[in-house]
């Protein structure tokens, strides 16, 4: 009988957790409102509120053990939010890159820019396709670009410590194609010169990328003339004139990709159809927004799985910590609870009171953990070798409100599980034995 009851509770618990995990914020709000209403307007609810009040007023005497719940849950939420913020920052950086009305053209079947090759002839054909916006002089806003990589010394590393940075050879139209990119120091490179502008992310990571300094790409010396900022994945690149980059890397007149500004997002279909229908070409067309978002998919998934795995294992630890504390709390207050039951309080208010107490502690822990993660990690810079690029991609951790909300939900779930069993024990304690104890 007892076993069946426990099994039943466990089942309810699993269902409740599943529902909870998928509950949107307004669902949670509604739930909270219903609960508060119950506490305010029903007799049982008022009883529960007063028992909770008694419990909370004695918290001070159990400061040590209660803080275990708070800090344990703060730890889980802090680590979880920080890890998710890493994945979020990474995919956000790539998601922000590109727009719906800019197209990227790659050779058919190429997984990324760096493995694509387009000949001079194809580029000329692509640039004349319908749907491409034109500038004031009537030239199409499209540019054949070449993506290669360079080894550069890492900032703060040893003399032999080199990292890979993505080098993009671009044409005059590059700035028109990417309105977010702005020169923030120095000036833009001049056509035909061995000059580079560096993204602010690349500048942070690699040594010697200050305007006026020379860097070596292979055997050749290039001058850094400016720094640009765009707030997205381009920040991790360095840009130079496409023809000069192609010459350095012995690529002749071929390029890796064509970027084209379309008249608007709706022109994408026309543009795509025109290129697909051209027998001279065998290319893949996508919006840049789509292309860069897709690049982030695999890595974001890995980061998210990692966060959830670590978070879950920590949560198990925290649940048992909370169980421990709350069982002790219930045991310490056994007489008090039995007295309440003896003078007519029913089981439900007692259960609710114990659970509410744990939930409040959990909420506190969740808030502290989220706050810590936000204070320490929001804006923290990290970098990784992104898939589909040849260089390091710098990104900042982003602790978004959604992540904090997710963290709080975890905290409340841990508190719920950690409080449920002690609460049931409290309610089912036979009054006479409890009163006789001590």
Partner 1 sequence: MKYFHLIWAALFRRKTRTVLTLVSIIAAFLLFGMLDAVRTSFDQAGKSANGAQRLQTGSKLSFIETLPQGLGEKIATVPGVKSVAYANWFGGAYQDPHNQVFTFAVSDNYIDQYPEVQVTDEARKAYLNTRTGILVGEKLMEKYHWKIGDKIPLQSNIFPQQDGSKNWTFDIVGVLHPTEQSVAFYGQMILMHWKYFDDAVMKGYNDGHVGWYVTRVNDVNQADQVAKAIDAISANSDHETRTQTEAAATASWMKQLADIGLIVGSIMGAVFFTLLLLTGNTMMQAVRERTSELAVLKTLGFSDTSVLVMVLAESVLLVLLGGVIGIGLASVLIPFVSAGSGGMLNLPTVGVNSWMLGIALMVAIGGVVGVIPAWRAMRLNIVDALAGR
Q: Least distance from C-beta 166 to partner 1, angstroms?
A: 9
Q: Least distance from C-beta 424 to partner 1, angstroms?
A: 14
Q: Least distance from C-beta 90 to partner 1, angstroms?
A: 11
Given candidates 48, 68, 174, 285, which one binds partner 1 under the rule CB under 8 A? 68
Q: Least distance from C-beta 161 to partner 1, angstroms?
A: 7
Residues 112-141 close enough to bind partner 1 by CB under 8 A: 112, 114-115, 117
Specify the 3-state DSSP secondary structure of 86. Answer: helix
378 is an interface residue for partner 1 by CB under 8 A: no
φ, ψ for residue 106 (rounded to 5)?
A: -125, 160
64 is an interface residue for partner 1 by CB under 8 A: yes
Given candidates 47, 230, 300, 392, which one binds partner 1 under the rule CB under 8 A? 392
Given candidates 118, 142, 197, 217, which one binds partner 1 under the rule CB under 8 A? 217
Given candidates 61, 384, 432, 433, which one binds partner 1 under the rule CB under 8 A? 384
- How many CB atoms are closer than 10 A to CB 134? 12
207 is an interface residue for partner 1 by CB under 8 A: no
The answer to whether 72 and 318 have CB atoms below 8 angstroms apart is: yes
In 134-181, beta strands by DSSP E = 142-153, 162-170
148 is an interface residue for partner 1 by CB under 8 A: yes
Name the token pair of 320.
Answer: 């048992």
263 is an interface residue for partner 1 by CB under 8 A: no
Alpha carbons 303 and 83: distance in angstroms, whole number: 7
DSSP character for 365? H
- Residue placing its CB nearer to partner 1 in the complex, 49 or 154: 154
Site string for partner 1, 296-335 (x = CB under 8 A): ------x-------x--xx-xxx-xx-xxx-xx-------
List, in order, residues 6 or more apart from 363 with CB less than 8 Å away. 408, 411, 412, 415
Instruction: Kindly tell me the burial class for residue 435, based on how many C-beta atoms sit within 10 Å of its own C-beta (0-12, 13-18, 19 or more).
Output: middle
- How many CB atoms are closer than 10 A to CB 391? 29
- Residue placing its CB nearer to partner 1 in the complex, 226 or 391: 391
Per-residue burial over 398-434, b = 16 or more CB atoms within 10 Å of its CB, e = otherwise: bbbeebbbbbbbbbbbbbbbbbbbbbbbbbebeeeeb
72 is an interface residue for partner 1 by CB under 8 A: yes
Instruction: Please identify, among the stretches 3-11, 37-45, 93-101, 212-220, the one whose residues bind partner 1 according to the rule CB under 8 A.
Output: 212-220
List, in order, residues 6 or more apart from 21 with CB less than 8 Å away. 409, 413
75 is an interface residue for partner 1 by CB under 8 A: yes
Q: Least distance from C-beta 56 to partner 1, angstroms?
A: 19
For partner 1 (CB under 8 A), the number of binding residues is 54
Name the token pair of 226.
Answer: 């400016």
Name the token pair of 104.
Answer: 């990227």
Specify the 3-state DSSP secondary structure of 256. Answer: coil
Rounded (10°) angle between helices 401-428 and 288-332: 30
Q: Least distance from C-beta 29 to partner 1, angstroms?
A: 30
Given candidates 99, 102, 173, 390, which one binds partner 1 under the rule CB under 8 A? 390
Q: Least distance from C-beta 65 to partner 1, angstroms?
A: 5
Q: Least distance from C-beta 79 to partner 1, angstroms?
A: 5
Instruction: Please identify, among the stretches 109-117, 126-134, 267-275, 340-348, the one whose residues bind partner 1 according to the rule CB under 8 A.
Output: 109-117
In 317-396, beta strands by DSSP E = 381-385, 392-396
Instruction: Please identify, among the stretches 53-61, 142-150, 264-272, 355-363, the one whose residues bind partner 1 according to the rule CB under 8 A.
Output: 142-150
Pairing label, strands 162-170, 237-241? parallel
List, in order, residues 6 or more apart from 275 with CB less than 8 Å away. 105, 126, 129, 281, 283, 285
Given candidates 35, 96, 164, 204, which one binds partner 1 under the rule CB under 8 A? 164
- Residue placing its CB nearer to partner 1 in the complex, 239 or 345: 239
Alpha carbons 435 and 5: distance in angstroms, whole number: 25
Name the token pair of 217.
Answer: 């790409």
List contacts with partner 1 (CB under 8 A): 64-65, 67-68, 71-72, 75, 78-79, 82-83, 109-112, 114-115, 117, 148-151, 160-164, 167, 217-219, 248-250, 302, 310, 313-314, 316-318, 320-321, 323-325, 327-328, 382-385, 390, 392
């Amino acid at each position: 009988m007892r076993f069946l009851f426990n099994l039943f509770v466990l089942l309810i618990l699993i269902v409740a957790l599943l529902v909870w995990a998928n509950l949107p914020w307004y669902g949670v709000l509604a739930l909270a409102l219903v609960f508060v209403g119950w506490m305010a307007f029903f007799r049982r609810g008022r009883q529960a509120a007063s028992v909770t009040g008694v419990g909370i007023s004695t918290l001070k005497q159990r400061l040590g053990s209660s803080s275990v719940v708070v800090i344990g849950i703060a730890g889980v939420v802090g680590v979880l939010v920080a890890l998710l913020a890493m994945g979020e920052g990474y995919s956000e950086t790539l998601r922000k890159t590109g727009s719906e009305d800019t197209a990227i053209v790659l050779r058919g079947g190429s997984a990324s820019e760096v493995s694509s090759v387009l000949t001079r002839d194809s580029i000329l054909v692509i640039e004349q396709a319908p749907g491409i916006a034109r500038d004031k002089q009537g030239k199409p806003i499209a540019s054949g670009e070449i993506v290669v990589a360079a080894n550069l010394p890492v900032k703060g590393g040893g003399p032999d410590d080199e990292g890979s940075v993505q080098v993009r050879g671009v044409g005059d139209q590059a700035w028109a194609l990417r309105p977010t990119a702005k020169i923030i120091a120095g000036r833009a490179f001049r056509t035909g010169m061995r000059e580079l502008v560096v993204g602010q992310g690349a500048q942070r990571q690699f040594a010697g990328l200050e305007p006026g300094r020379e860097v070596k790409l292979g055997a050749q010396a290039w001058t850094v003339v400016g720094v640009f900022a765009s707030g997205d994945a381009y920040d991790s690149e360095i840009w130079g004139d496409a023809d000069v980059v192609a010459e350095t890397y012995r690529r002749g007149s071929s390029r890796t990709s064509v970027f084209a500004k379309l008249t608007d997002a709706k022109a994408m279909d026309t543009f795509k159809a025109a290129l697909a229908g051209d027998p001279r070409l065998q290319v893949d067309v996508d919006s840049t927004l789509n292309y860069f978002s897709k690049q982030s998919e695999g890595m974001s998934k890995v980061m998210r799985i990692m966060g959830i795995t670590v978070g879950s294992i920590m949560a198990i630890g925290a649940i048992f910590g909370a169980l421990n504390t709350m069982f002790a709390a219930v045991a310490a207050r056994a007489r008090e609870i039995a007295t309440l039951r003896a003078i007519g309080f029913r089981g439900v208010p007692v259960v609710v009171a114990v659970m509410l107490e744990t939930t409040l502690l959990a909420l506190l822990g969740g808030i502290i953990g989220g706050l810590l993660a936000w204070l320490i990690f929001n804006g923290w810079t990290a970098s990784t070798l992104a898939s589909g690029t040849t260089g390091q991609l710098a990104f900042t951790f982003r602790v978004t409100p959604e992540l904090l909300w997710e963290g709080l939900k975890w905290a409340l779930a841990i508190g719920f599980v950690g409080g449920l069993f002690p609460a049931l024990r409290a309610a089912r304690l036979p009054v006479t034995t409890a009163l006789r104890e001590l």
